[in-house]
Amino acid sequence: MFAARHTPYVSGDDVIEDLSNDVNGTFYNPHREMVFGKRVGVNDVMPLTKRYNWTQNTVYTAYRDSTDLSDKAYYACVNASSSYHIFKCLDNNGNTPSTVTPNVSQTSPNDAFYSTSDGYVWKYMYTFDSTTFNKFATADYMPVRSNNEVSGNAVSGAIDVISVSYKGSHYNTYLSNTFNSTDLRVGGSATKYNIASDASSTSGFYVGSFIYIASGTGSGQGRRIVGYTVVGATKTIDIESAFAITPDITSVYQITPSVVITGDGSNAVARALVNTSSTNSIYQVEVIERGSGYTYATATVTGNTSGVQNNATLAITLGPKGGHGSNPEYELGARYLCFSVDFANTENGTIPITNKYRSVGIIKDPLFSNVTLTLGSVSGSFDVGEIVTQACTSAVGYVTDFTAGDLTLTNVAGVFNLANVVTGAGSSATGNVTALEINGDTKPFDTFDQRYRYTFTPVSGTFTQNESVYQTDPQLANAIFHSNTAGNVYLTHVKGVLNTSNTIIGTNSGAVGTLLYAYKPDLVVGSGEVIYMENENPITRSQTQKETIKIILKF
């Protein structure tokens, strides 16, 4: 990430001019205008998606596999002060407002889904601590990442939601009670149970329906009813297979219509819930077992439908490939990438705090110039022009000088580490890096200063920021004054060769100074690829200031 253009816009400082797309404006001027920059680390880049904060009384769109969700709020970001939790909406209770905040403490990464008391069904996706979240988030976008536990528990082809498209009416096969305490399990059978006396007095009435243990011993289990007999006051159901945990008289059961699921997956189980306050319509389908492996499926309501006047219709929503939470970037439409870098005061004395900058951008794979490695345990002699490599980092550079254990390199790619060996490709010479300088300064490869630095002696007057300076010999050599410190002058936009031992003259101030020794910019001028750049209103640097630069790219 680089900062550039310390000179004012032609039309004034408060006007942002468009960047030129011509060859000069795109390829050459960015290098001339660069002032300083900072390496983008692995923790400085994050995919983003649109931000939808959870807000009470908002209707969130339920995830549906057949709906274009690109501009829909089908997930919500919950601000929990020290962290942010992201939930995907699987069901919105018939397009009603959400009134209960999703709470991460009430669910876990291995939960298939999580229901709140307002009828919403959510899937927990991931969490960010507030520091990391705010590093990348804006009012319109938020960061996205995977939660390994959530993705590890995702099930491909599971059925999480079956919605009711049409409620139907007169589904009369419903009952809720506890088991009859007398001879609960008929003759010790694992599949035959006596149920309460208020059950239907018609044999076969509940065949095809579903019995679910809602609470008490064995809660959460369900089985399809395959037989129902009435002998006097004794009413007995026969289920398709034994319960894993045998119910007892504390178990509260519910008998409802069954839901038959047909598709290419397996083991999905669901039941239909009846609204007994109206015309016994189907108001909801509860998924008991999600199953897996479904790429298509249909669902129908069954169980003594002889009295039904209007058949309910159901719609199955299949999760994304891999299951909900397996790939949040894809699932939440993360079509943006954020580069977020801080320029904090002087970054330990490696970037300037004087003057302003008006452009920021991203440069890919630039090369460092004038890098000096101080070597210990040297074996052999490095040759000028040969390639030097550091195997552990894959850093490389070209030798320009080797004197008294100091190895000077240019066109350096990668990052040389201290206390690791470098090797000459042609000479096979080796040495252990004990110190590192870039342009005479001890600093890492994490920042760069792209100004031309000259030691100089003032002759007369004071140079002013952003004025042009020139030499009368040669007449074509000129630059723009950025700033100066004791004994140093910093220039940009250098054209031609500014000769040392000659004076430079300020076009506005008339100041004069003699250049003594030249240090080229930290990066090889013209190296790398400027892949993004934009103009901004002027930003003034300060010793006590940190600027956070966020560049968001859409793809």
255-280: b (≥16 Cβ within 10 Å) or e: bbbbbbbebebeebbbbbbbeeeeeb
Does position 207 have pLDDT exceeding 90, yes or no?
yes
In this prediction, residue 500 has a pLDDT band, given cuts at 50, 70 and 90, of: very high
- Can you give the pLDDT at residue 41? 94
- Can you give the pLDDT at residue 384? 97
No. of helices (H) and no. of strands (E), the chain: 5, 36
CB atoms within 10 A of CB 540: 11
Tell me what the mean pLDDT of segment 481-497 comes to. 94
- Can you give the pLDDT at residue 183? 63
- Can you give the pLDDT at residue 233? 86
Tell me what the mean pLDDT of segment 329-351 comes to. 96
Q: For residue 368, what are its two tokens? A: 């460092």
- Can you give the pLDDT at residue 184? 75
* Alpha carbon distance 535, 133 (integer Å): 26
Distances (CA, A) of 64 to 61, 88, 92, 218, 331: 9, 11, 11, 32, 11
- Can you give the pLDDT at residue 261? 97
Q: For residue 490, what are its two tokens? A: 């910093």
Give the phi and the psi of residue 350 in degrees, each rounded to 5.
-110, -10
In this prediction, residue 182 has a pLDDT band, given cuts at 50, 70 and 90, of: low
Tell me what the mean pLDDT of segment 429-452 comes to. 95
State the pairing for strand pair 83-91/447-449.
unpaired
In this prediction, residue 22 has a pLDDT band, given cuts at 50, 70 and 90, of: confident
Q: DSSP 3-state assignment of 70?
A: coil
In this prediction, residue 473 has a pLDDT band, given cuts at 50, 70 and 90, of: confident
Q: Tokens 């390994």 identify what position?
A: 148
Does position 291 have pLDDT exceeding 80, yes or no?
yes
CB 136 within 8 A of CB 551: no
Does position 167 have pLDDT exceeding 90, yes or no?
yes
Q: For residue 112, what are its two tokens? A: 């298939």
- Cα–Cα nearest to 11, from 469, 508, 537: 537
Q: Which of 128-137, 299-308, 313-322, 490-499 has the weakest average pLDDT?
A: 299-308
Give the angle 437-440-444 at the CA atoms, nearest 5°. Answer: 30
CB atoms within 10 A of CB 226: 15
pLDDT tens digits for range 538-553: 999 999 999 999 999 9
Residue 234 bridge partners (DSSP): 231
Tell me what the mean pLDDT of segment 369-387 comes to. 97
Does position 228 have pLDDT exceeding 70, yes or no?
yes
Across the chain, what does the average pLDDT equal?
Answer: 93
CB 503 within 8 A of CB 459: yes
Percentage of the chain exceeding pLDDT 90? 85
Does position 488 have pLDDT exceeding 90, yes or no?
yes
Q: DSSP 3-state assignment of 356?
A: strand
- Cα–Cα nearest to 232, from 182, 304, 172, 178: 182
- Can you give the pLDDT at residue 249? 86
Give the phi and the psi of residue 188 in degrees, each rounded to 5.
75, 10
In this prediction, residue 180 has a pLDDT band, given cuts at 50, 70 and 90, of: low
Give the phi and the psi of residue 505 in degrees, each rounded to 5.
-125, 135
- Cα–Cα nearest to 128, from 113, 112, 140, 145: 145
Q: What is the DSSP letter of 29?
A: H
Q: Which of 23-27, 351-355, 449-453, 464-468 has the weakest average pLDDT?
A: 23-27
CB 232 within 8 A of CB 222: no
